[in-house]
Structure 1
Amino acid sequence: MAYLLENDILKLECTEQGGEMLHLTNKEDGIEIIYQGDEAWSGSNPSLFPIIGSTYNKTYEIAGKQYSMKNHGLIRYARLKGEQGDDHISFIYESDEETRKQYPFDFSYKITYRLENNQVKIDYRIENTGKEDMPFSFGLHPAFRVPQKQGEMFEEYSIHFENDENANQIIFHDDLSIPSHTQSVHLNNWQLNRDEIKRFATIVLKDFSSTYVDLEYKNVPKIRISFPGFPFLAIWSHPSPSNFICIEPWFGHADFDQSCSDFYQREGTIILQPHEVFKTGYTITIFQNKEGK
């Protein structure tokens, strides 16, 4: 079943698989905004729950029992229950016997999409439906087509931060036995650079105040990704050159070295008490050619 939302500016199509966006089209020029998973990376815009990446050992322990999940957790591999409304699309996923084999907690997970003029508003609701405190990480992984038009080049695009500021970048190595560290970086306008992305594997930032970034072509804003409240931001593209850039707001991150063996103590971990609810969301704004900023 196709789940569709449309207004005068945008058309959005979603799927029950992962509750993901399939297509986001700017009706002004017919441009597809979302990378279609048709090059080096087969993904597109998965949700990352209850883990981002993986632990150092690819396993973790809860109450003396060992568990493991695939990379980025459960949701990206799951088929969610869809609900089509007049002005929204929602996808719901509930824990069950199979999820508890990988993650021994009960939860309810909901994604809701809405269109508002030239914006896609995406909200998340996670509830601890069990009787124990529930630790988890949560992140977003949207991939945007870059370049968007024939004749453009990947390197002609840039990411412009809301604030001109200093932040910290987490530096890690392929050999996770080597401790990770942070280095101070200045955030303003970063020109897309495949070599730099490949050198760092993933650019992971923290300790910033910006709540949005603009993806720009020759200094003209094309897409704004707004992520208030997220403490980490990752930037990634596949090491085999592909026409997309991922701009990923995160709560938490993968284990970048062997320093943390306690699943509850991983940096950025959220712990929900029984019946407590966690809510967050982000917004994608598609700038129209006639509007600019």
Structure 2
Amino acid sequence: MIHTLENEHCRVQVNTHGAELISFVRLEAAGELEYIWQADPAYWGRHAPVLFPVVGRLPDNQYRHQGQTYELGQHGFARDREFVLLHRSEFELTFELRDDAASRVVYPFGFALRISYRLAGSTLTVGWEVENPDSAELLFSIGAHPAFRCPLLPGETFEDYEFVFDHPVSLDQHLLENGLFSGRTTPLLRQETVLPLTYALFAQDALVFQHFDFTSITLRSRRSGHSVRARFDGFPYLGLWTAGSGAGFVCIEPWHGLAGSVGGPVELADKQGMLRLNAGQQFITSYSLTVA
């Protein structure tokens, strides 16, 4: 089921399937401008999935926990599950997913995952709350994967866009092999504030950064000036990705978690980027998207 939030500036739509943001429209005098990728399956058939309880790929899609081996696909299962609408007000929605018999086959933990969307002006704040209702420790990762139309307007190209950082940054890209970290890095930026977009930039899969020192990044058109700014205070990892030459989108992905590394099945407790909650504890965070 689709739920809508709207004010004088923007309209947002969220699907209970995956609690996924599927539309973020700016209402302008010249007409409506959609910022979210509309899931063309020829390139990538999703909009902005939530990654839980893992981020990225596991070696052989497997992990170990307490002497057992489990199979879990890339980015986990929450994006493919139906959420319950917990709360609705004029400018806010909250959805919930809880563990069940099906989830425990691939992920033997009790959990409650709540995802909220709050619209204020031209800013959408996405909130996450993970709760451990069980007596055993909860191990998890969680990440965002919003895809933005790029280009936004007719007559523009992908190469008309750039990423703009909030101050000069030096970044090393952590390299992937078949979606897994190779342990190698390569320099990308050195005290620069702008990263121009080209499809060649993503020839080796996503650009992944770890433990950076910025809290926002802006996708901006050099021609029209339209932009979307993602703010993600406290997130230790970030991915930037598109599906290949000709794909009309790019993703900005703040994460609390990472893909696995090249090798065999990993012990979940030892996997880099995993978060831990004791019985009754909660993990709460948020990120925001501002369109202009």
Whether these two folds match at TM > 0.5 is yes
Q: In the TM superposition, what is the alpha-carbon distance from 1:85 to its structure 2 partner?
A: 2.0
Q: In the TM superposition, what is the alpha-carbon distance from 1:179 to its structure 2 partner?
A: 3.8
Q: Distance in 1 between matches of 2:107 and 2:215?
A: 31
What amino acid sits opposite 2:125 in the alignment?
Answer: K
- Is 1:241 aligned to 2:243, yes or no? no
What amino acid sits opposite 2:69 in the alignment?
Answer: Q
Q: Distance in 1 between matches of 2:120 and 2:205?
A: 35
Q: Which of 29, 35, 38 is the matching residue for 1:36?
A: 38
Match of 1:281 in 2: 286
CA deviation profile, 1:183-240 (whole Å, cap 9, x unmatched): 3432521111101202x21110113111000111117351100011111111100025
Partner secondary structure for residue 115 of structure 1: strand
Give runs of aligned pairs for residues 144-163 of structure 1, distance below 5 A.
Answer: 144-163=148-167
Match of 1:228 in 2: 233
Match of 2:52 in 1: 49
- Is 1:89 aligned to 2:93, yes or no? yes
Q: Distance in 2 between matches of 1:265 and 1:116?
A: 39
Note closer, same or farther for the CA distance 1:14–1:97 as it changes in structure 2 (3 Å cut). Answer: same
Give runs of aligned pairs for residues 1-293 of structure 1, distance below 5 A.
Answer: 1-28=1-28, 29-38=31-40, 39-82=42-85, 83-174=87-178, 179-186=182-189, 187-198=192-203, 200-218=204-222, 220=225, 222-258=227-263, 261-287=266-292
Please say which of residues 165-174 and 49-58 is displaced more in the overlay: 165-174
Match of 1:291 in 2: none
Please say which of residues 38-47 and 167-176 is displaced more in the overlay: 167-176
Partner secondary structure for residue 106 of structure 1: coil
Partner secondary structure for residue 99 of structure 1: helix
What amino acid sits opposite 1:110 in the alignment?
Answer: R
- For structure 2, the 5+ residue unaligned runs are none
Partner secondary structure for residue 25 of structure 1: strand
Q: In the TM superposition, what is the alpha-carbon distance from 1:18 to its structure 2 partner?
A: 0.3
What amino acid sits opposite 1:164 in the alignment?
Answer: P
Q: Distance in 1 between matches of 2:43 and 2:182?
A: 29
Partner secondary structure for residue 35 of structure 1: coil
CA deviation profile, 1:59-105 (whole Å, cap 9, x unmatched): 11111111112211021010101242222111110111111111000
Note closer, same or farther for the CA distance 1:162–1:238 as it changes in structure 2 (3 Å cut). Answer: same
Q: Distance in 2 between matches of 1:168 and 1:263?
A: 26
Q: In the TM superposition, what is the alpha-carbon distance from 1:259 to its structure 2 partner?
A: 7.7
CA deviation profile, 1:104-131 (whole Å, cap 9, x unmatched): 0000000111111110011010001111
Q: Distance in 1 between matches of 2:105 and 2:178?
A: 29
Note closer, same or farther for the CA distance 1:152–1:207 as it changes in structure 2 (3 Å cut). Answer: same
Partner secondary structure for residue 273 of structure 2: coil
Partner secondary structure for residue 101 of structure 1: helix
- For structure 1, the 5+ residue unaligned runs are 288-293
**Preserved CA contact (<8 Å) 2:174 2:209:** yes
When the two chains are superposed, the root-mean-square deviation of aligned CA atoms in Å is 1.7
Higher strand proportion (structure 1 or 2): 2
Partner secondary structure for residue 267 of structure 1: coil
Partner secondary structure for residue 266 of structure 2: coil
**Preserved CA contact (<8 Å) 1:260 1:266:** no
What amino acid sits opposite 1:4 in the alignment?
Answer: T
Q: In the TM superposition, what is the alpha-carbon distance from 1:260 to its structure 2 partner?
A: 7.5
Which runs of at least 4 in structure 1 moved beyond 4 Å after TM superposition?
Answer: none
Note closer, same or farther for the CA distance 1:50–1:164 as it changes in structure 2 (3 Å cut). Answer: same
Q: Distance in 1 between matches of 2:226 and 2:218?
A: 6
